[in-house]
Amino acid sequence: MTSLKQTRILTIVGDYSEDYEVMVPFQALIMLAMQVDPVCPGKRVGVVVKTAIHDF
């Protein structure tokens, strides 16, 4: 019996990234059973990344 290896995705984000550009792909990939690892240069594990929502 073969086991399926879970796909891992690394995303690089920064403070004040556009919320929709970060969260929508993040949530979609999780729904597809992929492991998503967001990283932000200069931040430690557990530190929140601030996002922005622009009103058009």
pLDDT score recorded for residue 5: 73
**34 in any annotated domain:** yes
**41 in any annotated domain:** yes
Residues 29-45 have a mean pLDDT of 92
Residues 2-31 have a mean pLDDT of 87
**1 in any annotated domain:** no
**Residue indicated by tokens 């290896």:** 5
Is the overall model pTM greater than 0.75, yes or no?
no
pLDDT score recorded for residue 55: 76
- Amino acid found at 22: V
Domain range for residue 12? 8-52
pLDDT score recorded for residue 56: 67
Model confidence at 4: pLDDT above 90: no
Alpha-carbon distance of 40 to 36, in angstroms, equals: 13
The 8 Å CB, 24+ separation contacts for 25-32 are none
If one counts the domains in the chain, the total is 1
Alpha carbon of 37 to those of 21, 22, 56: distances in Å?
Answer: 15, 12, 29
